[in-house]
Amino acid sequence: MVGITAFGAYVPRLRLSRQAVVDANAWFNPAIRKLAKGERAICNWDEDSLTMAVEAARDCLTDQSRDDLGAVYLASTTLPFEDRQNAGVLSTALNLSENLMTMDVTASQRAGTSGLINALNATADRKASALYVASDKRRTKAAGAQELQFGDGAAAFRLGAMDVVAEFVGAHQIAVDFVDHYRGQDQKFDYGWEERWIRDEGYFKIVPRALEGLFASIETKPADIDHFVMPSVIPPVPRRIASEAGISEASVRDSLHDRMGESGTAHALVMLVDALQDAKPGQNILVVGWGQGCDALLFRTTKALAVLPPRLGVKGSLARGRVESNYNRYLALNGLVTQEKGIRAERDGQTALTTLYRKRDMILGFVGGKCRICGTVQFPRTNACVSPNCGAFRSQDPHPFADIPAKIQSWTADNLTYSPDPPAHFGMVVFEEGGRLMADLTDVDVGGVEVGMPMRMVFRIKQFDERRGFTKYFWKAAPDTRKV
């Protein structure tokens, strides 16, 4: 039996008020007033599809061994690198073994579910566990429906044959080049087609065929479905499709659009995580993925679901949100407006790729050192132990710091140092096991930082090299607001 053995998710803390978007743009496009309800999740300036993938994976791997992972998949249509394997960066940030297979899955909103089907089949064939992550951060033009409908988010799954919490029962796929939207080469934004055409000729004619194919290949009947997961920015669509297929209306899952928006490639899987957080053992979860065709996947939960340790998941992520009502700030954080950044921002950001490679475990994986003589831990790892009572030379073994609880010892909010989201917060962070680091702070509110505040380290964008198109990543300290 192969299936999901653990799951996790990440939704950014910031939530843009849709009313704020409407207030700013309804003068130009009054039709968007009907979309003013609720909020959509937005990334901070130092978040993207890769950083969200890392956080979702960390949530998934809570209390899970990482040693036996044989593959890492990353599905997204908004990956930061077109020619650098993003899944490889993800695996390095998670401190996984180099003896594994990594793969990016992209080019369609259906990549999330299509990639998951292939990863499950490969896991069964290889008899090794795998990590599967889907993440998307899509940019939108101002004053359009997409600006209110889209949202940012990520979901992650550990796949394997042992301690399965949701058995993979089967799947059916249909490939149809039905173009509901697209984003051409070197284009920043999606181009969408007419909604009624998408609904009538797309959803209502293609999805039923996928469901028919699935039910024809398995013993489960439509009436046996307990949770029906189908993303759609057209609200009535999932309920009508469920009804016509014989699936109970009560099983249709909340799309989460009011609270986070549509997270693209990741959204079917974000909704799956949300369903798994509600599901009981022995229930059937049907997942539909859409985009140039349709995927239909069926999972059946097991008794192991009841004993899986709690994780943040979708519900925990949504509970920690902070509403952002400043529309101009949203535009700036997402690079949707040209700003005068000032002279202090005018510095060359070239990355020394040689150093990045040699120090990749420290920079991307946040691995420090632990002295095998006296037990002192430190970051960064150096040739000499920093303990004044030791000073042993070349005595340090690699020691991961990313998951060690930390607190703020001192901090500064600086309005002179350039930051895309001023003021720039930084301070001395001390770790529970020992060791300290002068770190950038992120996801903090002005006036909300205190000495002694619990912090956790998060993988974030450090700097953009706009001249060469390279994104630098490192670890920052964020308030530990997780509640599982």
pLDDT value at 281 more than 70: yes
Beta bridge partners of 290: 294
Q: How is residue 473 written in tokens?
A: 């990543």
Rounded CA-CA distance 208/212 in Å is 6
**Tens digit of each residue's pLDDT (9 = 90 or more) over 56-73:** 999 999 989 899 999 999
Rounded CA-CA distance 284/169 in Å is 9
Rounded CA-CA distance 473/464 in Å is 9
Rounded CA-CA distance 82/89 in Å is 13
Distances 135 to 104, 148, 153, 270, 351 between C-alpha atoms, Å = 11, 18, 6, 9, 25
Rounded CA-CA distance 267/260 in Å is 10
Query: Alpha-carbon torsion 462, 115, 207, 171, what sign?
Result: negative
> Shortest CA distance to 2 belongs to which of 158, 214, 220?
158
* Fold exhibited by the domain 3-333: Peroxisomal Thiolase; Chain A, domain 1 (3.40.47)
DSSP collapsed to 3 states, 143-198: CCHHHHHECCEEEEEEEECCCCCEEEEEEEEEECCCCCEECCCCCCCCEECCHHHH
**Tens digit of each residue's pLDDT (9 = 90 or more) over 409-425:** 999 999 999 999 999 99
Phi, psi angles (nearest 5°) of residue 131: -110, 125
Beta bridge partners of 371: 396
**Tens digit of each residue's pLDDT (9 = 90 or more) over 439-474:** 999 999 999 999 999 999 999 999 999 889 999 999
**Tens digit of each residue's pLDDT (9 = 90 or more) over 253-266:** 999 999 999 999 99
For the entire predicted model, the pTM comes to 0.97
pLDDT at res. 483: 67
CB 151, CB 41: distance < 8 Å: yes
Percent of the chain with pLDDT over 90: 93
Confidence of residue 127 (pLDDT cuts 50, 70, 90): confident
Confidence of residue 147 (pLDDT cuts 50, 70, 90): very high
**Cα angle: 171, vertex 301, 120; to 5 degrees:** 40
pLDDT at res. 189: 96
Rounded CA-CA distance 257/249 in Å is 18
**Tens digit of each residue's pLDDT (9 = 90 or more) over 391-401:** 999 999 999 99
Tell me if 3-333 shares its fold with 343-366+401-479: no
Percent of the chain with pLDDT over 70: 100
pLDDT at res. 20: 97
- If you search the block for the tokens 């040739």, which residue do you land on? 383
pLDDT at res. 345: 83
- If you search the block for the tokens 């173009």, which residue do you land on? 179
* Fold exhibited by the domain 343-366+401-479: OB fold (Dihydrolipoamide Acetyltransferase, E2P) (2.40.50)
pLDDT value at 346 more than 90: no
- Concatenating the DSSP letter of every residue in 372-438 gives TTT--EESS--SB---TTT--BS-EEEEE-TTS-EEEEEEEEESSS--SSSSEEEEEEEETTS-EEE
pLDDT at res. 321: 95
pLDDT at res. 126: 80
CB 150, CB 144: distance < 8 Å: no
pLDDT at res. 176: 97
The helix/strand/coil state of 251 is helix
pLDDT at res. 343: 84
Kindly report whether the peptide bond that precedes residue 422 is cis, defined as omega within 30 degrees of 0: no
**Tens digit of each residue's pLDDT (9 = 90 or more) over 351-397:** 999 999 999 999 999 999 999 999 999 999 999 999 999 999 999 99
pLDDT at res. 178: 97
> Shortest CA distance to 42 belongs to which of 436, 471, 443?
443
Burial of 198 (0-12, 13-18, 19+ CB in 10 A): buried
In the chain, where the domains are located: 3-333, 343-366+401-479
pLDDT value at 407 more than 80: yes
CB 371, CB 395: distance < 8 Å: yes
